[in-house]
Structure 1
Amino acid sequence: PGDKEPQHSHPAGVVYVLNGATLKFSYPDGHTEERTAATGDTIWREPVTHAVENIGKTQAHVIVIDLKKSASPSPSFGAPGK
């Protein structure tokens, strides 16, 4: 509770909530929003730039999976003969 992350950016991705919390998100255009995520929630996230503050009474623990483009195409994992 009370922890803050300075402004940073993410590509599109998925967030999995390990321990639910209430967070305040601040965006470069000045608007803010409060969101509460429950333990076990899986959330799709579009590309975003934001700062985050834990305004709740519990610690926030999440797994963030940022999707990144491959430098070059690779063969399909598990494809026959691979």
Structure 2
Amino acid sequence: MSQDPVEANPGLYRVIFENERVRVLEYRDQPGDRTVPHEHPDSVMYTLSSFTRRLSSGGQQREVELEAGQARWLGAQEHAGENIGGTETHVIFVELKEPAPTAAGEGPLGPSGP
């Protein structure tokens, strides 16, 4: 069962700021550490270290290698991860609490038909 990353992985995630619009998380792990499945809303991720991870979601896996100092947009997602490199993972996530705006004529499943 997927859940909040801080509750699911309390030794790896911690809240460093929160208000009614955003929540800021710090994530740190060591080579070989794994997370259990958890969810993130739309977020901005900023890498404080270079790392290599394996992400698993919906029966699929992919490996990501990121350098320190990168900012990335992450759409809402559910996943589990594993540090498969030789360095610590150190990341800041800025999670958005507001839903994404919907363009005129679009519903939750995409553009409305005629």
State the AA in 1 paired with 2:40.
H
Q: Following the alignment from structure 1 to structure 2, what is the Cα–Cα distance between the partners of residues 14 and 52?
A: 17
Taking every aligned residue pair, what percent have the same amino acid on both sides? 39
CA positional deviation for 1:69: 1.8
Query: Unaligned 5+ residue runs, structure 2?
Result: 1-30, 100-114
Superposed displacement of residue 19, structure 1: 0.5
> 1:4 is aligned with what amino acid?
R
- What is the TM-score when the length of structure 2 is the normalising length? 0.59
1:25 and 1:31 map into 2 onto residues whose CA distance is: 8
What is aligned with 1:33?
A: 62
Determine the structure 1 residue equivalent to 2:19.
none
Which whole-Å CA distance do the structure 2 matches of 1:20 and 1:12 have between them?
22
Superposed counterparts of 1:1-82, under 5 Å: 1-27=31-57, 29-69=58-98
Compute the displacement of 1:49 (Å). 0.1
CA distance in 2, matches of 1:2, 1:65: 25
Q: Structure 1: which 5+ residue stretches go unaligned?
A: 71-82
TM-score by length of 1: 0.81
Structure label with greater radius of gyration: 1
State the number of aligned residues. Answer: 69
Amino acid at match of 1:15: M
